[in-house]
Chain A
Amino acid sequence: MMFAAATLAILAALALVVSRAILGPTVFDRALAGNSVGTLAILLLAVVGFLTGRPEWLDIAITYGLLNLIGTLAVLKYFRYGDLAYDDEDGA
């Protein structure tokens, strides 16, 4: 019951964040919303694991966390330098 309520709450949050990603006037809204969708996907994965009686899915949630970080880092680096291959030590 508790996990079902948590799932519903996560789904509601996901709907809000996705609507921000779709409507979001600036690209920053979208980048932040994209990151939040990743976080909520991790939470959903963990809660659905408990909901269906298989909490070992938590390990996979850790991998999702890493992926989310890489994606957001790539987006922000593109913003800062306009180029993913930019290397500060090149002295460019």
Chain B
Amino acid sequence: MIELIEGVLLTMLAAVTIAIVRQHNLFGVVILAGVYSFLMASVLIVLDAVDVAMTEASVGAGISTVILLATLYLTGSREDPPAHTPALPLFVATVTGAALIWGTFQLPGFGVAHSPIHDHVAPAYLEASTKHEMPPNVVTAVLADFRGYDTLGETTVIFTAGIGVMLLLRGRRKRQHGSAKEASDT
């Protein structure tokens, strides 16, 4: 059943990707990218990675749509005809994709219990989180307890970046308003 759901979702993902490439109206591309993100989030849910799926949905379908639409306001929504033939980019993309697929042959199979990633620190985390009565969700325990300072640092960086962007945008808007006022006064 799960394999069937995955198969259908991945087929639709491929169809949407081809549609994005062939679409020349950039507004349609933005909407199709949102569709892609929701489908990708569904695939991740079926693969049992709910937290990753949530990130994909909020960043891919939520914020990216808004930011891309704001960009469309500045660029216009028609795609310019390409300046050169797509042969070289297509070659690079094909080679990179083939290399990545070749790399997956070395990975342990999906869901194998004794792959290296499960034998390294994960047992220690599982044991310690029950011993020290940390949150029952071990992912939360790792992020908020074991790597608490790391997460605090990340949050600080993102918070600072957010404040910086807001200050920059605010300053620009005020200047625009001021210049518009001067223009109307004269």
A-B contact count (CB 8 A): 107
Contact check, B66 vs A84: say whether CB atoms are below 8 A apart: yes
A67 is contacted by which of B46, B48, B57 (Cβ under 8 Å)?
B57
B57 is contacted by which of A24, A41, A52 (Cβ under 8 Å)?
A41
Bound Cα distance A57, B54 (Å): 11
Interface residues of A in 41-84 (CB under 8 A from B): 41, 44-45, 48, 51-52, 57, 60, 63-64, 67-68, 70-71, 74-75, 78, 82-84
Contact check, B50 vs A57: say whether CB atoms are below 8 A apart: yes
Q: How large is the interface on A (under 10, 10 to 19, 20 to 34, 35 or more residues)?
A: 35 or more
* Interface presence of B141 (CB below 8 A): no
Contact check, A33 vs B35: say whether CB atoms are below 8 A apart: yes
Contact check, A11 vs B8: say whether CB atoms are below 8 A apart: yes
Contact with A along B41-65 (1 / 0, CB 8 A): 1100110101001100110011001
Q: Given that A63-B58, A68-B61 are known contacts, is A7 also in contact with B15, CB under 8 Å in the complex?
A: no
Q: How large is the interface on B (under 10, 10 to 19, 20 to 34, 35 or more residues)?
A: 35 or more
Bound Cα distance A83, B70 (Å): 7
B17: min CB distance to chain A, Å: 10
* Interface presence of A27 (CB below 8 A): yes
A58: min CB distance to chain B, Å: 11
Contacts of B19 in A (CB 8 A): 21-22
Contact with A along B7-31 (1 / 0, CB 8 A): 0110010011001000001011011
Contacts of B42 in A (CB 8 A): 41, 44-45
Bound Cα distance A41, B44 (Å): 11
Contact check, A75 vs B8: say whether CB atoms are below 8 A apart: no
Contact check, B62 vs A70: say whether CB atoms are below 8 A apart: yes
Give 25 pairs: A residue, B residue, CB < 8 Å, sorted on A: A7-B1, A11-B9, A15-B12, A18-B15, A18-B16, A22-B32, A27-B31, A30-B28, A30-B32, A31-B31, A34-B31, A37-B38, A38-B61, A41-B39, A41-B41, A44-B5, A48-B45, A60-B53, A63-B58, A64-B57, A68-B61, A70-B66, A71-B61, A82-B73, A84-B70
Residues of chain B having any CB pair with chain A under 8 Å: 1-2, 5, 8-9, 12, 15-16, 19, 25, 27-28, 30-32, 34-35, 38-39, 41-42, 45-46, 48, 50, 53-54, 57-58, 61-62, 65-66, 69-70, 72-73
